[in-house]
Amino acid sequence: MGAPFGFQWHLTDACDQRCRHCYLYGGGAAHAQQMSRDDMITVLGNCLEFSRSEDRPLRFFLTGGDPLLHPDFWDLAERLAAYGLPFEVMGNPFHLTREAAGRLRSLGCRRYQLSLDGLEAAHDALRGRGSFAATLGALDRLKDAGLTSCLMTTVTAENASEIPDLARLAAERGADGFAFARYCPVPGASPRMLTPQAFRDLLAVCYPLFTELARTTSTSYFKKDHLWALYEYETFGRLPGADRAEPAGTDRTETDGASGAQAGSRDAAAGAPVIDGGCGCGRDHLTILPDGSVMACRRLAGSVVGNALEDRLYDLWHGPMNAYRQYDRFTACSSCPLLAACRGCPAAAAGAASDPMPAASGTVSAMPAAFYAPDPQCWRYAAVSGQTKA
Ligand code: SF4
Ligand code: SF4
């Protein structure tokens, strides 16, 4: 069997929050679709056929909106459990009752991910009053149910200074995992991205903190962003590889998709980089929206390649998705030793570009032009290209 493959499946747009950085409701969009039960069964069959044809095991990430608001959420969760398919949930805290947490645990849910975007004032300013307290309450219910929890922060220029306190809070409150992901600009949203140097400074603060917390507490700290590879390369002189020593309890084997950011390597015979790490677009995951739209990456507006209700996923993967794995087009990364293991975040590159952004779902669109543009937060590229680092 090949490497694991992840489907990030948005069952519904329904959500009782209106986060300022949301890619669903950004720009004042107001659409609340949800996939019907029959369509979910069709999509699941398509995914299973993909798994067989591609010979890759599947992993599902059920999300929304808030997936628990979908009236057929439990029907789908029970189907996944019956097939023995691993699944995680990325949802809101408000509907995660004690009963829901226990039921998810009994169905074998691998993990429930909650967003925590700052300490109370900052988080509630972004996600709505009471959301911070509700998130910590949900975390307690996950613990009580014995369900693995993870807190995830979307890092912006506004909340970056609170990341260390959030990392400590995760340990104090007994979260099983903590990670942060970069904010990708969406039309109409107000948060700002960190500058390249500020992002590097954040990693420099977090590296020893995460290492220490992972050593002394039961919380795991996931180095999710691919630019961690750059930080470690510069700081410790090591390329990501099977022989590199990870600090205890830290883990960079998680990406937005499935199989993770493992080492990039070189095919000695061909001399070409073997792309087996870094951005998972075109490599290890797809996103499915409530209307069946299939996206290369949920954070990459305009990356719709087809529809899982009409198109064979295998055909999409070997057809329009080919446009997302033309690795020689990452010209900013071409001379970087981390090309195979990083390539930054093309969604951040596209989001930061000034081009008008196409709609997130609906019709199939041409690949966003800025997909292969330089990562706007890569401090290495900023330095070699002479861009300001401040
Ligand atoms: S140049 Fe590209 S591959 Fe190298 S660290 Fe920057 S984003 Fe990653
Ligand atoms: S484009 Fe960015 S968010 Fe999407 S898979 Fe690649 S690294 Fe992750």
Q: Is 227 in the pocket of ligand 2 (CB under 6 A)?
A: no
- DSSP code per residue over 181-240: EE----TT----PPPHHHHHHHHHHHHHHHHHHHHHSS-EEE--STHHHHHHHHHH---S
What's the residue count for the chain? 390
How big is the chain by its Cα radius of gyration, in Å? 20
d(CA 213, CA 221): 8
Q: Is 280 in the pocket of ligand 2 (CB under 6 A)?
A: yes
Q: Give yes or no for a cis peptide into 65 (omega within 30° of 0).
A: yes
Q: Of 248, 252, 250, 224, whose CA–CA distance to 239 is shortest?
A: 252
For ligand 1, residues with CB inside 6 Å are 230, 332-333, 336, 338-339, 342-344, 375, 378, 380-381
- How much is the pLDDT for 29? 47
pLDDT at residue 357, rounded to an integer: 47
Extended beta strands in 273-359, E state: 273-274, 285-288, 293-295, 304-307
What is the pLDDT at residue 244? Answer: 39
CA 351/CA 355 separation, integer angstroms: 9
**pLDDT (tens place) for every residue of the chain, 390 residues total:** 899 999 999 999 887 765 655 555 544 444 568 999 999 999 999 999 999 999 999 999 999 889 999 999 999 999 999 999 999 999 999 999 999 999 999 999 999 999 999 999 999 988 888 999 999 999 999 999 999 999 999 999 989 999 999 999 999 999 999 999 998 887 666 678 899 999 999 999 999 999 999 999 999 999 999 999 999 999 999 887 644 334 333 443 344 444 443 444 444 445 566 777 899 999 999 999 999 999 999 999 889 999 999 999 999 999 999 999 999 999 999 999 999 999 999 999 988 885 444 444 556 777 888 899 999 999 999 998 876 544
What the block records as the tokens of 288 is 């499915």
What is the helix (H) or strand (E) element at residue 103, kind and residue range? helix 98-106
For residue 8, give the ligand nearest its CA: 2
Q: If we measure between CA atoms, which residue out of 140, 147, 134, 137 comes closest to residue 107?
A: 147
| Structure tokens that stand for 68 in this block | 């628990």
Distances (CA, A) of 198 to 43, 155, 161: 41, 11, 10
Burial of 388 (0-12, 13-18, 19+ CB in 10 A): exposed
354: Cβ contacts below 8 Å, ≥ 6 apart: none
Distance 340 CA to ligand 1 centre (A): 9
Confidence at residue 263, expressed as pLDDT on a 0 to 100 scale: 41
Q: What are phi and psi of 221, to 5 degrees?
A: -115, 115
Q: What is the pLDDT of residue 389?
A: 44
Give the other-Cβ count within 10 Å of 197's Cβ.
15
Other Cβ atoms within 10 Å of 1 Cβ, number: 8
SS (H, E, C) 62-79: EECCCHHHCCCHHHHHHH
Report the atom number in ligand 2 closest to the C-alpha of 278.
Answer: 7
**Coil, strand or helix at 55:** coil
Mutate which of 276, 339, 387 for ligand 1 pocket (most atoms within 8 A of beta carbon): 339
CA distance 298 to 288: 8
CA of 39 to the centre of ligand 2 (A): 27
